Chains A and B, each alone.
Chain A
Amino acid sequence: MLNTTGMSFWVKSKYYYNKYKIAYYFILPTMIAMILMHLFPIVQGLYMSFLRLNNFTLNQYLGAPFVGFDNFYDVMFNPSSPMRIGIYDAVRNTIIYSFLVTIGQTAVGMIVALMLSNEFKGRGLVRTLFMFSWIVPTYVTGILWGFMFQQSIGIINIILVDWLHLLAQKPFWLVGVNSIWAIIIPTIWRFWPFSMLMLLAGIQNVPQSLYDAAKIDGAGKWKTFWKITWPMLSPVWMILVLFGMIYNTYSFNIVIMMFGNGAGFPGKWGDLMMTNIFRNSFMRWDFGAGAATSVLLLLVMIVIVNFWYKHYKKTEEIF
């Protein structure tokens, strides 16, 4: 490689450009797309969180009145702001939802992956059939489970109450406290096969010699799992948990389509951050507050991801 010390910036740039010309050409389209559709909107979005941007000032674009941190204050503390109403419900629900769904989908995925890691006839087909719930579009998942969760005509209540007699009377799933379960269960149902797929690939990559050694040492199944499989899979499940956390916090489709099939309000126990922001932005036309809430959400997410990333880096190099 050329010793570049002492060269002027332009000479250096020219040298690198000539050497990696094709690489720069290759990333150019992606760069343009990302600058236009990622960088541009993000910078604008950050700026918009400081603007009073609603249906009256929408036409002024970035010239809307600058209000400093008013939007942030409104969202978090101002009891008379309509944006503040329900935001803590949404925060609480999002924490519960994101936490339980991530754990749930990883756990179910792990259990099924372990079962599928044994050889048996028709294993490929069974895996494919398991994957089907992951292929169902999320908006269909919302509609479908919303339909199944109906109080009197839903099949879930018919099975639980009329057939199995597990409950005395048919509960309301889409109203009240139960709705948190009504959004968690379908999300796990929709996303666990992806975790399973990744974990299964990971399990099949664990060297058999480790299991043989454990067997010789007299370790049981339980112990083998926790001492060998689980640590060996940590790069897989850690990335799954990380991405699961991010995606579930930003979950939107299933919840919005489940309540009134996209026309209703998810209620005190079904509202998530994304549905809350979406409602306030595009139904109440308060874009400034919506942008401010998303900025807050992003800040929290950066902290979580940063924390997780540091932890992850100890296990495996990501780049």
Chain B
Amino acid sequence: MFKINYYQKEKLLRNFFLVLMFAFLIINSFPIFWMMFSSFKNNNDILSGKVGFSRAKNDVIGMEIAGKDLYAFSQDGGIAKYDVDSKRSIGGVKINGRDVNYYIDQDYIYLANSTKGLYKIDRRSLIVKAKASNPVTGVDTNRLGNTSIIAYDDLVVFTIELEGMNKIFIYDKKDLTLKRTVRLNTEHSSFIRSLYVDGDKLYIGTNKYILVFNKSTFIEEKRIDLGENYYPAGVQKIKQIKGNELILLVQNGLYFINLNKAEVERRKDYGVNLFEDILIEGEKLFIVSPTGLRIVNMNTEKLYLDSNNLVRELKDGVIVDPKSNYTSGEATNLIANGDELIIGSSYGRISFMKDLKAKPYYSLQLPLGHRLVMVENYADLWKNIDFGLYLRNSIIISGFTMLFAMILATLASYALVRFNFPGNKAFGVSILATQMIPQIMYLIPIFIMFKWISDVSGVSIQGTHGGLTFIYTAFFVPFSIWILRSFFASIPVELEESARVDGCNAFQVFWKITLPLAIPGIVATGIYIFLQAWDELMFAWILTDSDTLTIPIGIRLFVGNYQNRYDLMMAAATVATLPVLLLFFLLQKHIVKGLTAGAVKG
């Protein structure tokens, strides 16, 4: 058994308490940390109960073969370049973003995403040559869907999937400057899903129509109604035009559209439930779907092969050994390279198949997606709700309340402390008494009184900055007086007496002697009032209208409109908290001193 003396025991005990205190500090600060942390999270992560940041999906969205080079495009904005023979990586570039799409031509890759916009990338060196920002601004990024991009002649056409958005944007191919915007004549509920060029026509696929435009004049020539039996969200790609037949890839099958008659002629599903991608080689049709690979005759529907060798479960974020010869079941893409088939799938897998009945003989793994740290939540907050207005209203109302209440409280508390006038005691008691009356007891009559005033005189106080500021001033003055009293009491009276002797009048004494000494206390009280006014909910709830909403009411209304957008809610909470937190951090010495003056007066 150790023998320890008194001082060692004291020291041990003190350190033990210190450790306890720091542990408690961490626990106590955790909610604030969690609020800020969550404000950077992806809402899907929050809703699925994921604690950290998840990675962007790196599913293969497309592949392209040019000579010996294999270009693979992934959903997180990555471009990887491989040598087809040696399967070795020979370069890559990554432009983080969402809703990525691409178009590749002889010299350049055109990459589009909804967060950052358009990029023109040199095909050989993979260097970004030009870029343009997303023309669709002011919209919550979560509402934006797939981008589509296509380049021909000297133009780049870009569009984005968004409800009610019916524009295509035309850029100059050379330096990606916006040349013109074309408005499509479509309904509000339509989405633009894909672009395709054939001959001198530009085909624009929406979820309701295929619009046929002249590709240089952008005049609508034809409109093909997809009819009622289409799958609304599933119009994926305009795949191919053969003669006067257009083949449209939809999740529930292929739609064959007769361009002359301008109508859907037939739909074929070839026994597949969910189409991911197809490859057409003459009569042969290769289909990849979650159940595997299927090869059929496009016209006779004769089945050549049904292989489910592809189906394997892969986990998110796991890099699989490149030599292991399987792919994920969720194949998304396929291309042919001579006699071999290359299949891209989810989680960034690319598999090479020669013998189509066997498993893939080789697999590649694209780099993992970037972590989804959503700084744009804050931008989305401003786009979704009029947060700037709420912030401004809160600052105006709290600021003026602070100013007026400070003035009133300073004067009144000075008078209370220094002058023993008749009614002094009654005034002091009434100030304390106001503190124990429930606020709602004021709110009900004030609300009805304001309503009556506006009915009688037509002057509406409800919903004005001034009305709320006046009410707040009246409400926060009593407690401010209570804080300031002890502060004024601590200033020695002798100073004032000597000033009086020197010939100052009563006001001069207050103005020149006492007030400068009391400034720290007044500032502290002012900050305290600001914090209180910033925090006020009940009066603002009832007495504001759409122009004077303060932050708490703004947040409350926002929640009603956007259920389950926890990411934006936490961002809003952070924005509401940070100004006061900063204010407190900068002025905490004064505030603490001012508030505790009453506690230590004895």
**Cα–Cα, bound, A147→B430 (Å):** 40
Stretch in contact with the other chain, from A30-38, A85-93, A96-104 = A30-38
Query: Is A136 touching B25 in the complex (CB atoms < 8 A)?
Result: no
Stretch in contact with the other chain, from A72-80, A171-179, A288-296 = A288-296
**Cα–Cα, bound, A316→B470 (Å):** 35
**Cα–Cα, bound, A287→B50 (Å):** 45
Q: Which residues of chain A have C-beta atoms less than 8 A from B585's C-beta? A: 128
A148 within 8 A of B: yes
Minimum C-beta distance from A202 to chain B (A): 5
B29 within 8 A of A: yes
Minimum C-beta distance from B197 to chain A (A): 45
Query: Is B17 touching A48 in the complex (CB atoms < 8 A)?
Result: no
Query: Is A133 touching B438 in the complex (CB atoms < 8 A)?
Result: no
Q: Which residues of chain B have C-beta atoms less than 8 A from A40's C-beta? A: 445, 449
Chain A contacts with B in 241-287, Cβ cutoff 8 A: 243, 246, 249-250, 252-253, 256-257, 260-263, 273-274, 277-278, 281-282, 287
Query: Is A44 touching B411 in the complex (CB atoms < 8 A)?
Result: no
B125 within 8 A of A: no
Minimum C-beta distance from A312 to chain B (A): 12
**Cα–Cα, bound, A236→B601 (Å):** 10
Q: Name the one of A48, A189, A250, A301 contacting B28, with C-beta atoms under 8 angstroms.
A: A189
B531 within 8 A of A: yes
Q: Which residues of chain B have C-beta atoms less than 8 A from A205's C-beta? A: 599-600, 602
Minimum C-beta distance from A48 to chain B (A): 6
Query: Is A23 touching B535 in the complex (CB atoms < 8 A)?
Result: no
Q: Which residues of chain A have C-beta atoms less than 8 A from B475's C-beta? A: 37
Main secondary structure of the interface of B (DSSP, over half): helix
Query: Is A138 touching B535 in the complex (CB atoms < 8 A)?
Result: yes
Query: Is B507 touching A256 in the complex (CB atoms < 8 A)?
Result: no
Q: Which residues of chain B have C-beta atoms less than 8 A from A24's C-beta? A: 415, 421
Chain B contacts with A in 495-552, Cβ cutoff 8 A: 506-507, 510, 531, 534-535, 537-538, 541-542, 552
Per-residue interface assignment for chain A, residues 180 to 218, with 1 indicating a CB less than 8 Å from any chain B CB and 0 otherwise: 000000000100001001111110110000000000000
Query: Is A140 touching B440 in the complex (CB atoms < 8 A)?
Result: no
A10 within 8 A of B: no
Per-residue interface assignment for chain B, residues 405 to 436, with 1 indicating a CB less than 8 Å from any chain A CB and 0 otherwise: 00111011011101101100101111000111
Residue total for A at the interface (Cβ-Cβ under 8 A): 98
A82 within 8 A of B: no
If A30-B411, A34-B477, A131-B588 touch, does A257 touch B537 (CB 8 Å cutoff)?
yes
Chain A contacts with B in 95-132, Cβ cutoff 8 A: 112, 115-116, 118, 120, 126-132
Q: Name the one of A29, A116, A253, A305 contacting B538, with C-beta atoms under 8 angstroms.
A: A253
**Cα–Cα, bound, A40→B430 (Å):** 14
Q: Which residues of chain A have C-beta atoms less than 8 A from B444's C-beta? A: 45, 48, 281, 287, 290-291, 294
B46 within 8 A of A: yes
**Cα–Cα, bound, A136→B419 (Å):** 38
A166 within 8 A of B: no
If A129-B29, A133-B28, A144-B35 touch, does A319 touch B437 (CB 8 Å cutoff)?
no
A168 within 8 A of B: no
Q: Name the one of A30, A262, A278 contacting B481, with C-beta atoms under 8 angstroms.
A: A30
Q: Which residues of chain A have C-beta atoms less than 8 A from B474's C-beta? A: 33-34, 36-38
Minimum C-beta distance from A74 to chain B (A): 16
Please indicate which of the listed interface residues A37, A148, A249, A263 has the most CB atoms of chain B within 10 Å of its own CB.
A37
Query: Is B31 touching A58 in the complex (CB atoms < 8 A)?
Result: no
B104 within 8 A of A: no
A169 within 8 A of B: no
**Cα–Cα, bound, A274→B442 (Å):** 13
Query: Is B440 touching A38 in the complex (CB atoms < 8 A)?
Result: no
Q: Name the one of B14, B421, B447 contacting A20, with C-beta atoms under 8 angstroms.
A: B421
Query: Is B49 touching A115 in the complex (CB atoms < 8 A)?
Result: no
Query: Is A131 touching B584 in the complex (CB atoms < 8 A)?
Result: yes
A160 within 8 A of B: no
Minimum C-beta distance from A287 to chain B (A): 5
Query: Is B537 touching A256 in the complex (CB atoms < 8 A)?
Result: yes
Query: Is A253 touching B408 in the complex (CB atoms < 8 A)?
Result: no
Chain B contacts with A in 545-601, Cβ cutoff 8 A: 552, 555-556, 559-560, 566, 569-570, 573, 576-577, 580-581, 584-585, 588, 592, 595-596, 599-600
Query: Is B49 touching A158 in the complex (CB atoms < 8 A)?
Result: yes
Q: Which residues of chain B have C-beta atoms less than 8 A from A37's C-beta? A: 442, 446, 470-471, 474-475
Per-residue interface assignment for chain A, residues 26 to 60, with 1 indicating a CB less than 8 Å from any chain B CB and 0 otherwise: 11011101101110111011001000010000110
**Cα–Cα, bound, A21→B415 (Å):** 10
If A16-B422, A144-B31 touch, does A128 touch B542 (CB 8 Å cutoff)?
no
Minimum C-beta distance from A73 to chain B (A): 19
Q: Which residues of chain B have C-beta atoms less than 8 A from A260's C-beta? A: 559
Query: Is B421 touching A23 in the complex (CB atoms < 8 A)?
Result: yes
A219 within 8 A of B: no
Q: Name the one of B34, B407, B471, B599 contacting A148, with C-beta atoms under 8 angstroms.
A: B34
Chain B contacts with A in 94-135, Cβ cutoff 8 A: none
Chain B contacts with A in 370-400, Cβ cutoff 8 A: none
**Cα–Cα, bound, A241→B38 (Å):** 35
Which residue of chain A lies nearest to B478 when distances are taken between CB atoms in the complex? A34
B473 within 8 A of A: yes
Which residue of chain B lies nearest to A186 when distances are taken between CB atoms in the complex? B31
Q: Which residues of chain B have C-beta atoms less than 8 A from A200's C-beta? A: 596
Which residue of chain A lies nearest to B558 when distances are taken between CB atoms in the complex? A261
Please indicate which of the listed interface residues B409, B436, B588 has the most CB atoms of chain A within 10 Å of its own CB.
B436
A302 within 8 A of B: yes
B1 within 8 A of A: no
**Cα–Cα, bound, A113→B461 (Å):** 45
B441 within 8 A of A: yes
Q: Which residues of chain A have C-beta atoms less than 8 A from B566's C-beta? A: 147, 153
Which residue of chain A lies nearest to B582 when distances are taken between CB atoms in the complex? A135
Minimum C-beta distance from A248 to chain B (A): 12
Query: Is A262 touching B49 in the complex (CB atoms < 8 A)?
Result: no
**Cα–Cα, bound, A30→B484 (Å):** 14
Query: Is A287 touching B439 in the complex (CB atoms < 8 A)?
Result: no
If A139-B552, A298-B441 touch, does A153 touch B47 (CB 8 Å cutoff)?
yes
Q: Top 6 nearest A-B pairs by Cβ distance?
A: A37-B474, A201-B596, A23-B419, A26-B415, A20-B421, A44-B445
Q: What 6 new A-B contacts, CB under 8 Å, besides A139-B552, A252-B440?
A: A23-B419, A27-B412, A37-B474, A131-B592, A136-B577, A140-B576
Give residues in B with beta carbon < 8 Å to A: 14, 17-18, 20-22, 24-25, 28-29, 31-32, 34-35, 38, 46-49, 51, 407-409, 411-412, 414-416, 418-419, 421-422, 425, 427-430, 434-449, 451-452, 455, 470-471, 473-475, 477-478, 481, 506-507, 510, 531, 534-535, 537-538, 541-542, 552, 555-556, 559-560, 566, 569-570, 573, 576-577, 580-581, 584-585, 588, 592, 595-596, 599-600, 602
Can you report 19 A-B residue pairs in the complex whose CB atoms are below 8 A from each other? A33-B470, A41-B445, A48-B444, A116-B21, A132-B581, A138-B537, A147-B38, A198-B596, A250-B438, A252-B538, A256-B537, A261-B556, A262-B555, A274-B439, A277-B438, A277-B440, A291-B445, A295-B441, A301-B436
